[in-house]
Amino acid sequence: MPGLITALVVIVAIAAALFFIGYFKAPPDTAFIISGLGKRRISIGKAGWRMPFFTRLDKLSLSVMQVDVKTSEAVPTNEFINVTVDGVANIKISSDPALLERAAEALLGKSRAEMVTLVTQVLEGNMREIVGSVGLKEMVQDRQGVAKKVTENVIPDMEKLGIEVVNFNIQNFKDGAGTIENMGIDNVEQIRKNAQIAKANAQRDISIATSNAQQEANAVKVEAEKKIAEQNAELSVQQAEMKVRADTKAAEADAAYSIQQENQRKVIEIAKTNADIARREKEAELAEKEIAIKERKLDAEIIKQADAIKYKTEKEAEADLIKRQREAEARTYEALKAAEAKKAEAEALRYAMEQEAEGIRAKGIAEAEAIEKKAEAQKKMGEASVLEMYLSALPEVVKNAAAPLAQTEKIVMYGDGNSTKLVRDVMESTDQIMAGVKESTGIDVTSLISGFIGGKAAGAAEAKPE
């Protein structure tokens, strides 16, 4: 499989190389002639392809070539006058397929100089032939006709070579004997003679024509002056008549103008009086309107000012009311917040005191338990001993119960709370401690104290003398 791919690549590469080698593109001014393999084809202004190595590519330029054609020696005319001729021709290889085939056969491989030499010889031969068939005067007077004869005579020979003649012109003729110059002199003299005769005839005609013209002009002048005199007389009469009519019309016009002027003055006076009355009436009307406008303007300004003051007063009152309402609301809000803060502070203090009291109670209970254990050890010591021990410990219990209050800087009481209530709370804590002693030891300290105090009182009564 890899070998097959390599072979295909090689084949494609060879085909591409052959294509590029054989590819050509002919410009429009050059004929590409491809020959080989038993045939020949021509390409102009198009692209194509030829088989490399088996065909040949040659080129023929189709551009115009200029050829100077001069006779190498004098050529006798049909009048046996030797002349030399200088001409120029523009030629090119024909693009006609049939003529191009001939050019390929006759000119292929030749250089431009070789083709020019070949064509020059053909043109010179045909030009000598035409010069020998015409006269010198015809050559001088009709160069274009002679050049046309040369072109028509040379075309068949050029077509054999595949060349077409674009144009051919004869530039100059010369002869050694000065015949052309003498012909020119003779022609000049003849022309001069004819010109002088024509000038004399013209002057004669001019004199005759001038005399006739003067006679006719004089007659015309007399007749014209006569008619002018008649016309002047008629004009004078007409002018006099026209002056009379004009004066009459002028007088009538002056009278009519005076009458019209007086009438116009009266009309103007009346119109002026009416205009003055109308002006005064209009001024009075305008004055009344201005007074009314000023009154309405003043009323409007007073009403507007009053409305503005009223509006301002109302707005200031509304603003003051809103201000007082907001201040009252602010004070109420601040009072509520202060009360809530104080209530929260009191509740916090109460809770703290309750916690402290609970701690004291727990401490008292612990101390009572200690006392109970101590009492068990001293059970036989008697009530007096117990009472003595209790009384010794009582101040410390009360002190511990009141210790949290001594550390408080400020106490705020609400409702029915006061200092008496505070003391009662401390004493209740003490009573709770004594109740705890009773429950734990079975000793009623209160009864014991009462009995002790009663015994002391009875003993004092007995000891009192009668």
The predicted structure's pLDDT at residue 304? 79
The predicted structure's pLDDT at residue 466? 46
In this structure, the number of other CB atoms found within 10 A of the CB of residue 204 comes to 10
Rounded to an integer, the average pLDDT of 357-380 is 68
CA distance 74 to 446: 188
Cα–Cα–Cα angle for 378, 380, 381, nearest 5°? 65
Instruction: Reply yes or no on whether the pLDDT at 313 is more than 60.
Output: yes
Chain centroid to Cα 438, Å, comes to: 107
CA distance 394 to 431: 11
Rounded to an integer, the average pLDDT of 445-450 is 64
Percent of the chain beyond pLDDT 90?
A: 0
The predicted structure's pLDDT at residue 11? 82
Lowest mean pLDDT, pick from 223-227, 274-278, 456-460:
456-460
The model scores a pTM over 0.85: no
Pick the closest to residue 107 from 24, 166, 25, 33 (CA basis): 33
The predicted structure's pLDDT at residue 59? 83
Instruction: Reply yes or no on whether the pLDDT at 413 is more than 60.
Output: no
The predicted structure's pLDDT at residue 80? 78
Q: pLDDT: is 47 or 189 the higher one?
A: 47
Read off the pLDDT band of 56 (50, 70, 90). Answer: confident
**String of DSSP letters for 171-195:** EEEEETT-HHHHHHHHHHHHHHHHH
Instruction: Reply yes or no on whether the pLDDT at 169 is more than 80.
Output: yes
Instruction: Reply yes or no on whether the pLDDT at 458 is more than 70.
Output: no
Q: pLDDT: is 461 or 162 the higher one?
A: 162
Mean pLDDT (the chain, rounded): 75
125-158 confidence digits (pLDDT tens): 888 888 878 877 777 777 888 888 888 888 888 8
**String of DSSP letters for 222-253:** HHHHHHHHHHHHHHHHHHHHHHHHHHHHHHHH
Cα–Cα–Cα angle for 434, 435, 440, nearest 5°? 100
CA distance 428 to 364: 12
323-348 confidence digits (pLDDT tens): 888 887 888 788 778 878 877 776 77
**String of DSSP letters for 129-164:** HHHTTS-HHHHHH-HHHHHHHHHHHHHHHHHHTTEE
Instruction: Reply yes or no on whether the pLDDT at 122 is more than 80.
Output: yes
370-384 confidence digits (pLDDT tens): 766 765 655 555 555
The predicted structure's pLDDT at residue 311? 83
Chain centroid to Cα 430, Å, comes to: 99
Q: pLDDT: is 416 or 214 the higher one?
A: 214
64-84 confidence digits (pLDDT tens): 888 888 887 777 777 778 888
- Collapsing DSSP states into helix, strand and coil, what is residue 356? helix
Instruction: Reply yes or no on whether the pLDDT at 319 is more than 80.
Output: yes
Contact 34, 51 (CB under 8 A): no
Contact 138, 146 (CB under 8 A): yes
Strands 65-70 and 23-25: unpaired
The predicted structure's pLDDT at residue 440? 59
The predicted structure's pLDDT at residue 377? 58
Give the homologous superfamily in CATH for domain 64-177: Band 7 domain (3.30.479.30)
Domain assignments of the chain as residue spans, ordered by start: 15-58, 64-177, 364-463
Tokens at 342, concatenated: 């104080």
Instruction: Give the burial string for 46-82 (b: 16+ CB within 10 Å, else e).
Output: eeeebeeeebebeebebeebebebebeeebebeeebb
The predicted structure's pLDDT at residue 196? 66
- Looking up tokens 């030749």 gives 110
Contact 123, 195 (CB under 8 A): no
Max Cα-Cα span within the chain? 224
Instruction: Give the burial string for 273-306 (b: 16+ CB within 10 Å, else e).
Output: eeeeeeeeeeeeeeeeeeeeeeeeeeeeeeeeee
The predicted structure's pLDDT at residue 247? 80
Instruction: Reply yes or no on whether the pLDDT at 421 is more than 70.
Output: no
The predicted structure's pLDDT at residue 382? 56
- Looking up tokens 């001088």 gives 140
- Looking up tokens 């119109």 gives 271
206-255 confidence digits (pLDDT tens): 878 887 878 888 888 888 888 888 888 888 888 888 888 888 877 777 77
In a 13 Å sphere around the CA of 215, the CA atoms on its Cβ side amount to: 5
Angle between helices 179-377 and 419-441 (to 10 degrees): 60
- CA distances to 76, 136, 364, 417 from 430, rounded to whole Å, are 180, 178, 8, 19
Q: pLDDT: is 433 or 231 the higher one?
A: 231
